[in-house]
Amino acid sequence: MITVITCRGIGEPPPSPMLENVTKLLDPERFRVVPLWWRAQYGPVPDPQGVSFDEALRDGRDELLFKIRRSRNPVILVGYSAGAALAGNVAAEIGMGEHPDIDLRGVGLISDPLRDPMNVVNDEAAGFGIAGARHIPKGRFPVWQLADPADVITCCPLDSPLRTFADQSAAFSLADPQAWGSDMIDRLRKKRWQPTIRDWRNIPQVWWAYTQAISDAKGYLTDDHVSYHIRNYPGRNRTYTEWLADRINQIEE
């Protein structure tokens, strides 16, 4: 038996409706699905008094490691959106050998906001995560990164102005505005900003970057971020979630 731990996205009711499109296709005789009950908050979303994204990830990391160690089975991690950031962060630690006691058999990340260009599944998935790039070492376990080219959360252009918004909002919380202010000051002092437009004198580049950012934001607000269960994986007649379920079902105990 293998335990599949699912990490839901921001605002999703537990367990994740998106990830259920994966787990419902797994062999119940081989896989035990366990949702992680982490806070999955991004400041005031979905709770006006919610914690910041950074704090939610820190707390979620501890909860996920506890959940993994509590399972007596080998583990597969599956995450969507913010949950993919969480699962990917922990998988990166395991991949670097920080938790040698954990038997991780694979990690599936749908719309990872920290997707590294080195962890590309399909060639069409240009760009990388809107919040930056976190590398997951290869070789110890398979890494399945699912990235719809139209989804700016995981396929954000290098010079997109949306990266600045992601940097500015990661520590924001109405419940603790002082922590947000401290983070902003620290970012200014240490220059912890993702590079966006490099040459403001290049008018065509600036125009293109902002035009693309507007288009990407509109796509996020409509359906580009939430269609992995209905859009096909590039070059296949299977949806993204079906494709991931197929990969997991092939893992041996």
Residue with tokens 């409509």: 222
| Predicted pLDDT of residue 117 | 78
Look up the CATH number of the domain holding residue 37: 3.40.50.1820
Q: Per the domain annotation, does 122 fall within a domain?
A: yes
Segments forming the whole domain that contains residue 43: 2-156+221-249
| Predicted pLDDT of residue 174 | 40
Q: What is the distance between the alpha carbons of residues 43 and 56, in angstroms, rounded to a whole number?
A: 9
Q: Per the domain annotation, does 196 fall within a domain?
A: no
Tokens of 81: 């959106």
| Predicted pLDDT of residue 147 | 93
> What pLDDT digit, counting tens, does each position of 24-68 carry?
999 999 999 999 999 888 766 566 666 777 888 999 999 999 999
Average pLDDT over residues 212-229: 71
Q: Under 8 Å CB-to-CB from 34, ≥6 apart: which residues?
A: 3, 4, 5, 6, 67, 71
Residue 245 has pLDDT above 90, yes or no: yes
> What pLDDT digit, counting tens, does each position of 143-192 carry?
999 999 999 889 888 777 767 656 655 544 444 445 544 544 555 465 55
What's the pTM?
Answer: 0.83
| Predicted pLDDT of residue 211 | 61
| Predicted pLDDT of residue 9 | 93
Q: Per the domain annotation, does 120 fall within a domain?
A: yes
| Predicted pLDDT of residue 106 | 97
Residue 204 has pLDDT above 70, yes or no: no
Q: How confident is the model at residue 141 (pLDDT cuts 50, 70, 90)?
A: very high
Q: Per the domain annotation, does 169 fall within a domain?
A: no
Total count of domains within the chain: 1
Q: What is the distance between the alpha carbons of residues 123 and 149, in angstroms, rounded to a whole number?
A: 9
| Predicted pLDDT of residue 198 | 59
Q: Per the domain annotation, does 185 fall within a domain?
A: no
Q: Per the domain annotation, does 162 fall within a domain?
A: no
Q: What is the distance between the alpha carbons of residues 96 and 93, in angstroms, rounded to a whole number?
A: 5
| Predicted pLDDT of residue 6 | 98
> What pLDDT digit, counting tens, does each position of 105-136 carry?
999 999 999 999 765 555 557 788 888 899 99
Which contacts (CB < 8 Å, 24+ apart) does range 204-209 have? 205/159, 209/157, 209/159, 209/160, 209/161
> What pLDDT digit, counting tens, does each position of 70-103 carry?
998 999 999 999 999 999 999 999 999 999 999 9
| Predicted pLDDT of residue 51 | 79
Q: Per the domain annotation, does 45 fall within a domain?
A: yes
Q: Per the domain annotation, does 172 fall within a domain?
A: no
